Amino acid sequence: MSKKNNEYQAKEIARLTFDWINAYLPTLRTNSSHTIKAYRTAVNLYINYLEDKGITDKTLNAECFSVSHLNDWLIWLKQERSSSNKTCNNRLAAIKCLLKYIGTRNPTYKVLYLDAATSVYRLREPKSKVQGMTKDAVKAILETPDPSCKIGLRDIAIMSFEYGTATRIDEVLSLKINNLRLSADKPYATILGKGSKIRTVYLMSGLVNIIQNYIKVFHVAQPNPDDYLFYSSWHGQKSKLSQEAIRKRLKIYASKAHGNCNDVPLNLHSHQWRHAKACHWLEDGINIVEISKLLGHECLETTMVYQDITTEQQIRALATLEDEAYCTIPKKWKLEKSKGLSGIFDFTRP
């Protein structure tokens, strides 16, 4: 390959990567800063791998994204970074997304994504199961914070919202005042979920009271509609509360609550609230299809796997669906009667 052509490819790949990170991802792909950070990290790690191979910004070209390089990179991640198979697969998915973008913007590179999609395989991942929580464990944890202090009141509100609505922690922390309708006949919150999907979650009266008491303490009488519901103060600004801050608080409450209830998991994390609520809905006889909608899942299979539902439970749930469908069929005699039916990859500067 000529030096001139190599320089063109290096600049073109770098330009398209910059556009992918700074324009495509935040506007068309995702609004999650965590997802963008993960994609950015994957690209930086791939650059580190190429540099270890002696490739520089002047020798970068399309061949650097060949199947052999991608497979070697996965090995490099495991050996040099001690990455798990799941982490490697997430990094690989990000690079494939980048190559797909590059191929759509410049058809010359389309073969890179096609080769990667068909010849670079995901690593086998051990199935991980979210540890469940009993209703007694939930009660014990929610009774642990001190509601007479501000931090305790805030944490009760966050945990109660997570459990009461089975929402993801980022969905809760992304809530703003204008997403709440607490005075409606049926109070609800508008949730911006994964993939920018919007759904409505209805709030029970007990949760509404908790949120209202929280707002009275943490927000003024006429709160700014654009303020985050749960926030951290930084130089007088109400910024989005971090997941790490919540994670640390959960560890403290879990340790204390475990002394009163052995069912409380010591490694408590936010996603367990969502998982616990879904399990308790199932125990209370709520139909699996309704649970799937409440969780914001696109397909029923996702809920089945997420819930770790046994074959027996699946049969029982589907039988319930069949019974409901049968009950909605108009009676035959009624039918008859009616007759109806880094560097070059510096993402911070253009």
pLDDT for res 40: 95
In a domain, 192, yes or no: yes
* Separation in Å, CA 338 to CA 213, 264, 331, 334: 55, 58, 11, 6
Across the beta sheet with 180-181, the strand order is: 180-181, 188-192, 198-202
pLDDT for res 128: 64
pLDDT for res 316: 56
Average pLDDT for residues 330-339, to the nearest whole number?
42
pLDDT for res 189: 96
Alpha-carbon torsion (47, 48, 53, 57), positive or negative: positive
329: pLDDT strictly greater than 50: no
Whether residue 215 sits in one domain with residue 81: no
pLDDT for res 130: 66
pLDDT level of residue 333 (50, 70, 90 thresholds): very low
pLDDT level of residue 337 (50, 70, 90 thresholds): very low
Which of 63, 85, 119 is at the close of a domain?
119
345: pLDDT strictly greater than 70: no
Q: Taking a C-beta distance cutoff of 8 angstroms, is the pair 182, 212 a contact?
A: yes
Whether residue 146 sits in one domain with residue 62: no
315: pLDDT strictly greater than 80: no
In a domain, 302, yes or no: no
340: pLDDT strictly greater than 70: no
pLDDT level of residue 1 (50, 70, 90 thresholds): low
Whether residue 97 sits in one domain with residue 145: no
- Of 108-117, 127-136, 264-273, 277-286, the one with minimum mean pLDDT is 127-136
Give tens-digit pLDDT for 253-275: 999 999 999 999 999 999 999 98
Q: How far apart are CA 171 and CA 161, in angstroms?
A: 10
241 vs 126 pLDDT, higher one = 241
Average pLDDT for residues 31-59, to the nearest whole number?
91
Q: How far apart are CA 305 and CA 173, in angstroms?
A: 26
Tokens 């959960």: give the residue: 250
Whether residue 91 sits in one domain with residue 53: yes
334 vs 90 pLDDT, higher one = 90
Q: What is the CATH number of the domain that holds 202?
A: 1.10.443.10
Hey, which of 55-64, 292-301, 341-350 has the most confident mean pLDDT? 55-64
Please tell me the total count of domains within the chain.
Answer: 2
Whether residue 103 sits in one domain with residue 151: no
Which of 84, 119, 154 is at the close of a domain?
119
In a domain, 258, yes or no: yes
pLDDT for res 320: 52
Q: Taking a C-beta distance cutoff of 8 angstroms, is the pair 44, 55 a contact?
A: no
pLDDT for res 164: 93
pLDDT for res 336: 42
22 vs 333 pLDDT, higher one = 22
Which of 119, 153, 187 is at the close of a domain?
119
In a domain, 308, yes or no: no
Whether residue 78 sits in one domain with residue 31: yes
Q: What is the CATH number of the domain that holds 41?
A: 1.10.150
Whether residue 195 sits in one domain with residue 108: no
Provide the pairing of β-strand 188-192 with 237-240.
unpaired
16: pLDDT strictly greater than 90: yes
* Separation in Å, CA 125 to CA 39, 71, 90, 156, 311: 20, 16, 11, 35, 22
Compute the C-alpha angle 84/85/86, nearest 5°: 90
Q: Which residues contact 43 (CB under 8 A, 6 or more apart)?
A: 17, 21, 94, 95, 98, 345
Whether residue 212 sits in one domain with residue 155: yes
pLDDT for res 116: 93
Q: Taking a C-beta distance cutoff of 8 angstroms, is the pair 83, 77 a contact?
A: yes
Give tens-digit pLDDT for 159-215: 999 999 999 999 999 999 999 999 999 999 999 887 778 999 999 999 999 999 999
In a domain, 290, yes or no: no
pLDDT for res 283: 83
Whether residue 140 sits in one domain with residue 278: yes
> What is the residue range of 18's domain?
3-119
pLDDT for res 32: 76
Average pLDDT in the chain: 85
pLDDT for res 125: 82
323: pLDDT strictly greater than 70: no
